[in-house]
Each structure stands twice: as structure tokens, then as C-alpha cells.
Amino acid sequence: DAKTTQPPSMDCAEGRAANLPCNHSTISGNEYVYWYRQIHSQGPQYIIHGLKNNETNEMASLIITEDRKSSTLILPHATLRDTAVYYCIVLLNSGYALNFGKGTSLLVTP
């Protein structure tokens, strides 16, 4: 599976959009981009995934560049409860195991 690179930490003011970048320059054509987050002392939570088109659900939006080498997770109106570690993962559609890496620690401040 392709490796991902994320900034170690980011801050965001409550109510503003949080834009979390991920670089996956070695992604192959049949690998999906998945985003999970982990709030302190809880299990990871699935957020969203996509292949090449932009995706949106009730939690977030995922923007994947046309060359698929990077993506951005957008939390449109961040709240204090969005403070968590966010993981960007690429996975084959036939794959099983998730490689979580170190993720981005997002701090949402009042």
C-alpha cells in the first residue's frame, strides 16, 4: 500500500473550516484514500473515503487532486469535539489491513 505524509499538528478556531492535507504521491490506480480519526482514549472512527471524485458526507468533505497524489479532508465548521488525531490511509480495494501512520493532531480552540 502507498505511503502517506501528513503534517504532525494543526490548529483551527471553532466554527472555522479545518483543512487537513495528505500527500500520497505513490498511490496506484486501484487504491482508495480513507480518512479516520481518533479522539483521545477512544477507538478510531471512520470519516470518509474516495477513489478519484470528491466526496461529501454528514461529517466531512474529501477533495482529491486530479493526479490523485494528494487530498484534503475538510471539516466545514469545526467544533471542540473535532479535536482528535486524523489519519489518512490508502488502501487497495482488495486490501484488509489499515496502516495508520502518525496522523495529524488537530486542536480546535474556542
Partner 1 sequence: DVKVTQSSRYLVKRTGEKVFLECVQDMDHENMFWYRQDPGLGLRLIYFSYDVKMKEKGDIPEGYSVSREKKERFSLILESASTNQTSMYLCASSFFRGYEQYFGPGTRLTVT
Residues forming contacts to partner 1 in the complex (CB under 8 A) are 32, 34, 41-46, 49, 91-102
> 5: which DSSP letter?
B
Q: Please, are residues 48 and 73 in contact by the beta-carbon 8 Å criterion? A: yes
Residue number with CB closer to partner 1 (14 or 59) = 59
Q: Which three cell numbers stand for residue 68?
A: 490523485
β partners of residue 89: 34
- CA–CA dist 76, 61 (Å, integer): 8
Closest distance between partner 1 and the C-beta of residue 95, in Å?
6
Q: Which three cell numbers stand for residue 91?
A: 488502501
Closest distance between partner 1 and the C-beta of residue 78, in Å?
22
Residue number with CB closer to partner 1 (43 or 110) = 43
Closest distance between partner 1 and the C-beta of residue 107, in Å?
18
